[in-house]
């Protein structure tokens, strides 16, 4: 194992970095509230948040901030946290550097739940999609784990990745089969499936925040185990960790977090892939630092991508999933090239 792989950071430096990342998140939130097709001064934003805009004389701007941008920004923070932490855990439990929330078929499972709700159950609202997305995500994750657990060795990282890939392909074909035979379902599903935080209401945040909290608590309980697992399954077992239980808890936490993100905003790629690597580059490999760093970096990346999507082609908007893909593809290429060099 290389020296870089074992790199640790001290409490003082780690705390300072987390403080800096917190500052970046605050700036990203203010940027998300101020920038859009209608530019609003930061002072008006602050006044709208604290006093409802009565002191700034800008009641229209205050209404835009409080009614439209606050829910959008809140959803962006929640989704960014969920995807980044889920990606960190998935990379830890699978020991796969390119793992991300889609690897276990969770995102496609949520998509199947939503498209079935639209096509067969007459659900036509974003708040109504949430529960079906959760159900689809959970069923897909359980199915992948059951498939990977069969045979010799149980649910190894390679078998999990292969089972997830197969499940993704199967569920994607199910989604395609439904939407290509139901034009109305296609129109509604396309709006959700593009991956966006635009038009999301505070009601969705209210429905999903308990699940976000539960997922974060599950993940926090696995932090030390993920450090041990990085040294190998035998070493982790020798240090007293129950490796199968660790994988189950970590996978359950990642599934819940991914369900939160996909239910609230639709599938958004690359945030869960890129953010864990950036966090490890900043704070080392100790998951007690990596997880909070990822939780702060995730919403920063998502909110900045969303703001860029608002200003690239005004007054139209580019969905945040498109922007994260545009930002994430070069990162993935660089990651693959760097890994190839290291392996050589």
pLDDT in tens, 210-234: 999 999 999 999 988 888 888 877 8
Percent of the chain clearing pLDDT 70 (strictly above) = 92
* pLDDT value at 39 more than 80: yes
* pLDDT value at 246 more than 60: yes
Q: What domains sit in the chain, N to C, each tagged with a CATH number? A: 13-70 (no CATH), 80-343 (1.10.3470.10)
Question: What is this structure's pTM?
Answer: 0.88
Q: What is the pLDDT of residues 80-132, one digit of tens each?
A: 999 999 999 988 888 878 778 777 788 889 889 988 988 888 887 777 888 88
Length of the chain, please? 344
State the pLDDT at residue 341: 40
At residue 122, what are phi and psi to the nearest 5 degrees? 70, 30
Mean pLDDT of 133-160: 82
Interatomic CA distance for residues 157 and 52, integer angstroms: 51
Mean pLDDT of 7-32: 89
State the pLDDT at residue 58: 53
* pLDDT value at 46 more than 50: yes
Interatomic CA distance for residues 312 and 91, integer angstroms: 32
CA 293 to chain centre: 14
Q: What is the pLDDT of residues 318-334, one digit of tens each?
A: 999 999 988 877 877 77
State the pLDDT at residue 27: 96
* pLDDT value at 32 more than 90: yes
Of the pLDDT bands very low, low, confident and very high (cuts 50, 70, 90), residue 248 is confident
Region of poorest pLDDT, from 26-30, 112-116, 237-241, 256-260: 237-241
State the pLDDT at residue 54: 52
Output the average pLDDT for the chain.
Answer: 85
Q: What is the pLDDT of residues 287-313, one digit of tens each?
A: 989 999 999 999 999 999 999 999 888
| End-to-end Cα separation, the chain, in angstroms | 15
* pLDDT value at 343 more than 90: no
Of the pLDDT bands very low, low, confident and very high (cuts 50, 70, 90), residue 36 is confident
Within 10 Å of residue 213's Cβ, how many Cβ atoms? 12
Of the pLDDT bands very low, low, confident and very high (cuts 50, 70, 90), residue 4 is very low
Interatomic CA distance for residues 344 and 339, integer angstroms: 9
State the pLDDT at residue 191: 77
State the pLDDT at residue 7: 65
Interatomic CA distance for residues 176 and 324, integer angstroms: 23
* pLDDT value at 337 more than 80: no
Mean pLDDT of 141-162: 80
With a CB cutoff of 8 Å and minimum separation 6, the contacts of 213 are none
Q: What is the pLDDT of residues 171-210, one digit of tens each?
A: 999 999 988 888 777 777 887 788 899 888 888 888 889 9
* Run of H or E including 148: helix 126-149
State the pLDDT at residue 53: 56
State the pLDDT at residue 218: 93
């Amino acid at each position: 194992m290389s020296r870089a792989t074992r790199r640790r950071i001290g409490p003082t430096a780690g705390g300072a970095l987390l403080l800096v990342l917190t500052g970046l998140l605050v700036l990203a939130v203010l940027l998300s509230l101020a920038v859009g097709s209608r530019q609003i001064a930061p002072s008006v934003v602050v006044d709208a948040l604290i006093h409802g805009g009565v002191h700034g004389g800008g009641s229209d701007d205050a209404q835009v901030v409080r009614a439209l941008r606050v829910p959008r920004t809140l959803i962006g923070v929640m989704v960014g946290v969920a995807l980044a932490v889920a990606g960190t855990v998935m990379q830890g439990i699978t020991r796969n550097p390119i793992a991300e929330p889609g690897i276990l078929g969770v995102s496609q499972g949520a998509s199947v739940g939503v498209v079935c709700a639209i096509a067969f159950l007459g659900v036509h609202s974003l708040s109504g999609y949430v529960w079906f997305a959760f159900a689809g995500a959970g069923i897909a994750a359980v199915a992948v784990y059951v498939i990977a657990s069969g045979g010799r060795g149980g649910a190894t990282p390679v078998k999990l990745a292969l089972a997830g890939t197969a499940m993704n392909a199967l569920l994607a074909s199910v989604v395609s089969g439904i939407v290509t035979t139901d034009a109305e379902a296609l129109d509604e599903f396309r709006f959700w499936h593009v991956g966006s935080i635009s038009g999301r209401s505070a009601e969705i945040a209210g429905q999903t925040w308990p699940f976000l909290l539960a997922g974060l608590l599950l993940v926090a309980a696995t932090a030390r185990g993920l450090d041990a697992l990085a040294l190998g399954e035998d070493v982790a077992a020798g240090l007293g960790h129950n490796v199968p239980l660790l994988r189950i808890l970590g996978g359950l936490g990642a599934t819940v977090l991914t369900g939160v993100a996909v239910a609230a905003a639709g599938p958004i790629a690359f945030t869960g892939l890129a953010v864990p690597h950036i966090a490890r580059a900043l704070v080392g490999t100790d998951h007690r630092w990596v997880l909070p760093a990822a939780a702060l970096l995730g919403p920063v990346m998502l909110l900045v991508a969303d703001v860029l999507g608002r200003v690239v082609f005004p007054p139209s908007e580019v969905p945040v999933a498109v922007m994260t893909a545009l930002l994430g593809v070069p990162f993935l290429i660089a990651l693959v090239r760097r890994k190839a060099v290291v392996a050589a």
